[in-house]
Amino acid sequence: MKYQMKNKKWIIATLYVFMVYGTQAQKLIFNKEGTFKIVQFTDIHYQHGNRQSDTALLMINRVLDKEKPDVVIFTGDIVTGKPAKEGWDAVTKLVIDRKIPFAVTLGNHDHEQDATREELARFITAYPFNLNTPSVPGIPGVMNDAIPIYSSDNQLKEAALIYCFDSGAYSTVDGVKGYGWITSGQINWYKTQSLQHTIQNNFNPLPALSYFHIPLPEYRLAFNDEKNSRLGVRLEDECSPELNSGLFLAMREMRDVMGTFVGHDHVNDYIVNYHDIALAYGCFSGWKTTYTPKINGARVVVLSEGKRQFDTWLHLLDGTIRNKNTFP
């Protein structure tokens, strides 16, 4: 009897969440002005109960209140302390309370606490307003997603895409050291998704952005070439994987992705134009629980409906707006 009562309470609570939040809350739509704002938080390294994390939460609250984004994307190494679930509850509460849809890509440290990547994906995708799916059958990693943004004039018409990739943690190939990469299986999935959306859009690639944690090897190549347009700082070498799995080439061939946005390297915040794709870092969003720049913040991106362009800037804890520019 106690089990039945508990089960009934769970069902009632689930129905309540659905009625309050609804499926419409999960649908991303360009506003009447034809713009759509994304805020990226990365490398928060939140540790539940550690007061050193309070400044990260303060920054998140300030940025959300000021920017009022249409969606938030967390790009890995978000919670790096036990218990992980309580940490994720605390961080996601800030967007859930504001009824802001959000997506997550995991980093190389998220699963090193008391939950596997699969367990993290299951409870993250159960949060209200989360846009991810736990997994794609047959595709490596978790929370790989192609999330559509719909037209302001026709909410059945897709106008842009956000790709989320699980960039893994560490090398899984014997004899190869270093960090993980987006696998050939994920790249084939991406190309299939991209082709399907292109066909549906009268054979025109949809403007798209891509979010993941570990930077591609092309980041280093692009920044080192001074003829490329660069903005922002590189204060440490890019910690990319040792092997190049070919995602950048696939994106260039499919012609939809305008920019990629990563984290991982805390004191890098640059954006560089490389073969007409913006390779960008977010802005370190954590505080003193790991190595830090002088001040934390977030990266903001604003898409323009019907155009292959976006505006972007860094919004820091103290309110400073830095490195504002338009791509391309």
How confident is the model over 215-237, as pLDDT tens digits? 999 999 999 999 999 999 999 99
Going by DSSP bridges, is the β-strand pair 158-164/145-150 parallel, antiparallel, or unpaired?
antiparallel
> Cα 72 to chain center, whole Å?
8
User: Is residue 39 within 8 Å of residue 73, measured between CB atoms?
Assistant: yes
User: Is residue 212 within 8 Å of residue 255, measured between CB atoms?
Assistant: no
Domains and CATH numbers, the chain: 33-327 (3.60.21.10)
Predicted structure pTM score:
0.92
Summarised one tens digit per residue, pLDDT across range 87-99 is 999 999 999 999 9
- The strands making up 71-75's β-sheet, listed across from edge to edge, are 102-105, 71-75, 35-41, 297-304, 310-316, 321-327
Structure token pair of residue 266? 């805390």
pLDDT at res. 26: 80
Q: In the predicted model, is pLDDT for residue 39 greater than 90?
A: yes
Cα–Cα distance for residue pair 60/42, rounded to 1 Å: 11
Bridge partners of residue 302, in order along the sequence? 37, 311
Q: In the predicted model, is pLDDT for residue 24 greater than 70?
A: no
- State the Cα torsion 88-92-94-97 to the nearest 10°: -130
* CB crowding 179-193: b at 16 or more within 10 Å, else e: bbbbbeebbebbeeb
Cα–Cα distance for residue pair 227/167, rounded to 1 Å: 28
Structure token pair of residue 93? 């509460």
pLDDT > 90: what percent of the chain? 91
Bridge partners of residue 300, in order along the sequence? 39, 313
Structure token pair of residue 44? 């928060």
Length of the chain: 328
Consecutive H or E run containing 21: helix 2-21
Cα–Cα distance for residue pair 30/46, rounded to 1 Å: 31
Cβ neighbours for 95, distance < 8 A, ≥ 6 positions apart: 64, 72, 102, 129
Q: In the predicted model, is pLDDT for residue 5 greater than 50?
A: no
